[in-house]
Amino acid sequence: MNQLNIEERREGTFTVLVLTGPVNSYTFTEFQDRVYRTVRETDTAVDMEHVTTLSSAGLGALMVALEDAEAAGKKLWILKPSEIVRLAIESTGFSDRFPVTRTLKGLA
Amino acid sequence: MDGSPPRILRSAVLPADPEAVPAFEDWLDTIPPTRPSLGNRIRLAGGEILDNIVRHSRPAGGLIRVRLRASGDSARLSFSFRSESFRDFVRNGPDARNGSIARTAYDPGSRRWRGLGLVMIARLTDDVRYRSGWPKDRIVAEFRDFGASSCTPGTGGV
């Protein structure tokens, strides 16, 4: 499957972007546009449970989105990362920059 | 059946354009699974290597050959192609693992992180070699599975 699907739902104060498929050099711009727009307006969670790969381009977009969220006084969490997403984050050496959670309960 | 993991030797020819990465991921999906942690590292590091080849090396003929050899707890992934600009890359920084090129920097102008892919390659592989020469230029990545789904510790110069 080489298409990234992005669905949106609300959970408390959060907008949850639910990603399904690969976030790679081919698909990351769609994710980047969506998450940059969302973090400026609302607390955001990116549900990555069904992400099948995460490239450096996608990770870079997440890192910029984290800075944008902070500048806008909003929160950005990575929700339920898949095993390969966890590995990709770890491989950057910047794991401590990525706020990861299994649930938004208590955060919303 | 002796229960030992299957030996895998597969190859494919990929287009040297932005379709290369999704074509590579599709190709990996056709290969019998190795250990999950090894498979994830191959997918992530291979995608980064391929993306760098396509964006920076501009292979002649528009093709890249990929080969995967895996057995038990180890795997070798190689990419071969022909590229003039790859020679300069090899001359200037032949080994991402020595830390000389595996560093990241944020470019505020483009709002992009530079070098993140090379860091990932260095940390996800146990060895990576960049070779320029006739008849092909090659990048060979080695993976060994030590049982944990994690990156190689202490590498990458970050």
CA A96 – CA B74 distance, rounded (Å):
29
Instruction: Tell me the ipTM for this assembly.
Output: 0.94
Q: pLDDT tens digits, residue range B66-99?
A: 999 998 889 999 999 998 888 777 777 645 444 4
Tell me the CA distances in angstroms from A99 to A5, A76, A80, A96, B108, one per residue in order: 22, 7, 11, 7, 22
Q: Please give the pLDDT value at position B4.
A: 63
**Which tokens belong to B27?**
């190709």
Q: Of A84, A91, A92, which to mutate for an interface test with B (greatest number of B Cβ within 10 Å)?
A: A91
Q: Smallest CA–CA separation between A17 and chain B, in Å?
A: 21
Q: Please give the pLDDT value at position A22.
A: 97
CB distance B59 to B49 below 8 Å: no
Q: Please give the pLDDT value at position B105.
A: 82
Tell me the CA distances in angstroms from A37 to A1, A14, A28, A30, A72, one per residue in order: 26, 14, 14, 11, 11
Q: Please give the pLDDT value at position B149.
A: 47
CA A78 – CA A102 distance, rounded (Å):
8
Q: Which residues of chain A have pLDDT under 70?
A: 1, 108
Is the Cα torsion angle B90, B91, B97, B103 positive or negative in sign?
A: negative
- What pTM does this model have? 0.88
Q: Please give the pLDDT value at position B49.
A: 96
Q: Smallest CA–CA separation between A20 and chain B, in Å?
A: 15
CB distance A1 to A52 below 8 Å: yes
Q: pLDDT tens digits, residue range A13-41?
A: 999 999 999 999 999 999 999 999 999 99
Q: Of A56, A62, A96, which to mutate for an interface test with B (greatest number of B Cβ within 10 Å)?
A: A56
CB distance A8 to A17 below 8 Å: yes
Q: Taking the domains of chain A in order of start, what are their residue ranges?
A: 5-10+24-101
Q: Smallest CA–CA separation between B150 and chain A, in Å?
A: 6
Its CATH architecture, for the domain B8-144, is 2-Layer Sandwich (3.30)
DSSP character at residue A12: T
Q: Which of A26, A55, A90 sits opposite B18 (nearest CB)?
A: A26
Expressed in percent and rounded to 5, the helix, strand and coil fractions of chain A are 40, 30, 30
CA A26 – CA A1 distance, rounded (Å):
12
Of the options 3.30.750.24, 3.50.50.60, 3.40.50.300, 1.10.3720.10, the CATH number for the domain spanning A5-10+24-101 = 3.30.750.24
CA A75 – CA A1 distance, rounded (Å):
30
Q: Least CA distance to A84: which residue of chain B?
A: B40
pLDDT by residue for chain B (158 residues), tens only, comes to: 455 667 889 999 999 998 999 999 999 999 987 777 899 999 999 999 999 999 888 888 889 999 999 988 899 999 999 988 887 777 776 454 444 446 788 888 888 888 899 999 999 999 999 888 878 899 999 999 865 545 544 332 21
CA B93 – CA B102 distance, rounded (Å):
9
- What is the identity of the amino acid at A68? D
- Please list the alpha-helical segments (H only) found in B30-152: 36-52, 84-92, 116-124
Q: Please give the pLDDT value at position B153.
A: 40
Radius of gyration of chain B (CA): 16
